[in-house]
Structure 1
Amino acid sequence: MIVIGLTGSIGMGKSTTAKLFAEEGVPVHDADAAVHRLYAGEAAPLIEAAFPGTTAEGVVDRKALGQRVLGDPAALKRLEAIVHPLVRKSEAAFLGEARRADAPVVVLDIPLLFETGREAQVDKVVVVSAGEAEQRRRVMERPGMTEQAFAAILARQTPDAEKRARADLVIDTSKGIEAAREQVRDVLRALERH
């Protein structure tokens, strides 16, 4: 089984690209979706204990939590120490299931792949990219996004140029969804040949 680590900076089209892999029949583990599930379940009491007042009715209030950790590296490290092991547990269960199903290829959608040193744990790294102007346009269209929040997010992420240089393959989403879909198919065809 070939494990693809899919990553890309905010606004580059990584989530859309993950969906394109799924549409091609490839099992995808979405780290962000796992975090959403954990915030409504297993992680909520742990986060409330570490950051009192950040949950409501047993569910993490993402906005309240974000305000507590944004710009506070120590708080962010505490949060990651709670969440990352739980996401890895979810990922391990996903990989076990995929192996039992004899999936030839799987995708681990990991936003902070390079930042957390996870590239060594996958067979191929695919970086999704779109160019700086397109990235800014997409991100600033998000509800509630501010220049300050965008800058804080970018500060935590490995620069796009470095990600591209370290990637095995790059998918450029700046040319639209159909071009991205064809690039996903090219990636899968290339992996089939190996």
Structure 2
Amino acid sequence: MSGATGSPQRKPLMIGLTGSIGMGKSTVAAMFERAGVPVFDADAEVRAMQGTNGALLPAIEAAFPGSTGPGGVDRDRLGQLVFGDKDALQRLEAIVHPAVAEKRAQFLADNAGARMLVFDIPLLFERGGEAAFDAVVVVSAPAQVQRERVLARAGMTQEKFEHILQLQVPDVEKRARATHVIDTGVSLAETEAQVRLIVDELAQRTA
């Protein structure tokens, strides 16, 4: 019975945003925000919870002694402790993932009236989470562009880059499984135009 309150509120369209390392996903996420779409950035939430006085510091220090300090998690030190060690990585994920899920639930509650929501999830396909979304946007760029971007990062090596690629679903497969693909191997203006076209198209579905 609708009564005076009218029809039930439509749920926001759920958009998963993903892409391999160096593809420009963070840049595209910011473009969605500029287009008026709220974005949940799981990595940003993790960085906050692992930063100075972060909520996860006691649990991480207990599991990985010496990995935290006054400024929060020592990412290089923690990375050394979990790099290539599947058991250690699973212990870290068991600490981080439930906390991120809590933040995500709060984001959903805070933005229940939005037309659509973007969830920035680096390992969306790797975790098998795409079924939870109404649309999946993959950010992609030519392999050479990706390589140049990643190897320009401080502390990145060819070996580390190759290891990361081995852990990720290949870009060609991600593009094949996406509902939308955004090419970041072009100018920022062209990339932003692609984002706005997708927002307009998805808005039609919520009309």
**Structure 2 matches for 1:40-189, cutoff 5 A?**
40=51, 41-57=54-70, 59-99=72-112, 102-189=113-200
Distance 1:158 1:193 in 2: 31
SS in 2 for 1:189: helix
Greater Cα radius of gyration, structure 1 or 2: 2
Corresponding position of 2:3: none
SS in 1 for 2:111: helix
Q: How far does the alpha carbon of each residue in 1:113-152 deviate from its partner, in whole angstroms, 9 at most, with x for none?
A: 1111221222110000001111001001111110111112
Post-superposition offset of 1:57:
2.4
- Contact 1:29/1:107, CA 8 A, preserved across alignment: yes
Q: CA RMSD in A?
A: 1.0
Distance 2:180 2:198 in 1: 8
Distance 1:37 1:67 in 2: 20
Corresponding position of 1:32: 43
Distance 1:130 1:94 in 2: 29
Runs of 4+ in 1 over 2 A off after TM superposition: none
Aligned residues between the structures:
192
SS in 2 for 1:29: strand
Q: Does the alignment pair 1:14 with 2:44?
A: no
Post-superposition offset of 1:176:
1.7
Post-superposition offset of 1:58:
6.7
Amino acid at match of 1:72: D
- Contact 1:70/1:152, CA 8 A, preserved across alignment: no
Amino acid at match of 1:83: V
Q: How far does the alpha carbon of each residue in 1:21-46 deviate from its partner, in whole angstroms, 9 at most, with x for none?
A: 01111111111101101112111111
Amino acid at match of 1:51: F
Amino acid at match of 1:117: G
SS in 2 for 1:115: coil
Structure 1: which 5+ runs fail to align?
none
Per mean C-alpha deviation after superposition, the further-off stretch among 147-156 and 65-74 is 147-156
Structure 2: which 5+ runs fail to align?
1-11
TM-score normalized by structure 1? 0.96
Amino acid at match of 1:47: I
Amino acid at match of 1:103: A
